Amino acid sequence: MIRKPSRQLAIDGDLVLKDATKEIARRLDQPTRRAFLQRSLSLGGLSLLSGCSVVDESSVENALMTVSRFNDKVQAWLFDPNRLAPTYPDSMITRPFPFNAYYGEDEIRQVEEESYRLEVTGMVADKHAWTLAELRAMPQADQITRHICVEGWSAIGKWGGVPFADFLRRVGADLSAKYVGFKCADDYYTSIDMPTALHPQTLLTLTYDSQPLPPRYGFPMKLRMPTKLGYKNPKHIQAIFVTNTYPGGYWEDQGYNWFGGS
């Protein structure tokens, strides 16, 4: 599966670079594609039990995807931009707060603070890359809210940082755009709707429990939204872009509901 560049090619720098880039792209793509294959069996155990495929699986999946898109619309309609998620006292914080990602704890990404720059692109007026110091200099807020995972479990944590609405206004984002997308240092990516981006509890999180965000919770920065499920809250954010083109997401492209709101 993994093709090694031949020795002769190693002489040609450009070719090697091209080959390597392709190789990296292919390898990054692997887990997702493998997941797609495993996960296409939407009938699960029941189709094994019946021993035959009574319905065409891809048409079932298309129908389920159509309902999922419909559920996005229903959730956007139900979403009240002023309704706050419940907040809790310090004593109710879940300790230790669980680690969760699409990879294990031994693969947590380490991001260097000195070289870190947050890229801001798309439908924004100010496209300069932000340093952590600049982000820390903005007015901060904190919240103790419940994180609800798509798996069902929930945990209460304390996050602090820049209200995302303030940040979007500061960079002159087009607030009438449909989506805000995120690209992360751990190759995760996701996107959210503008009303949720502007929700008062949506936080560009720099701290956890009043300490700088540790790598396991997404150093240097994650987006915390108590109005959305965990997989909508990206960690290790490197790039933020404002767009009208649907950006999808790591899990969303595999079948998790895009809106993912609670």
Site for another protein, rule CB under 8 A = 38-46, 48-49, 63-65, 67-68, 71, 75, 78-80, 83-86, 146, 148-154, 226-227, 251, 254-257, 261-262
Give kind and range of the element (H or E) at residue 25.
Answer: helix 13-39
Distance CA 193, CA 195 (A): 6
Q: In whole angstroms, how close is the CB of 78 to another protein at the nearest point? A: 5
Shorter beta-carbon distance to another protein: residue 116 or 228: 228
Shortest reach from residue 209's CB to another protein, in Å: 21
* Nearer CB in complex with another protein: 80/107: 80
Q: From the CB of 262, what's the least distance to another protein, in Å? A: 5
Q: CA angle, 84 as apex, 81 and 89 as ends, to 5°?
A: 160
Determine the 3-state secondary structure of 107 from DSSP: helix
Which C-beta is closer to another protein: that of 79 or that of 97?
Answer: 79
Q: Which is nearer to another protein, 202 or 238 (CB)?
A: 202
As a whole number of angstroms, the distance between CA 51 and CA 53 comes to 7
Instruction: Please state, in angstroms and as integers, the Cα–Cα distance from residue 67 to each residue in 42, 93, 141, 253, following that order.
Output: 14, 36, 37, 15
Closest distance to another protein from the beta carbon of 91 (Å): 16
Q: Min. distance of Cβ 236 from another protein in angstroms?
A: 23
Nearer to another protein, 167 or 231 (CB): 231
- Which of residues 120 and 229 has its CB atom nearest to another protein in the complex? 229
Minimum distance from CB of 250 to another protein (Å)?
Answer: 12
Reported for 214-219, long-range contacts at CB under 8 A and 24+ positions apart, including other chains, are 215/108, 215/109, 215/110, 215/111, 216/99, 216/105, 216/108, 217/97, 217/99, 219/110, 219/111
C-alpha pair distances (Å), 258 with each of 19, 94, 97, 262: 34, 27, 25, 12
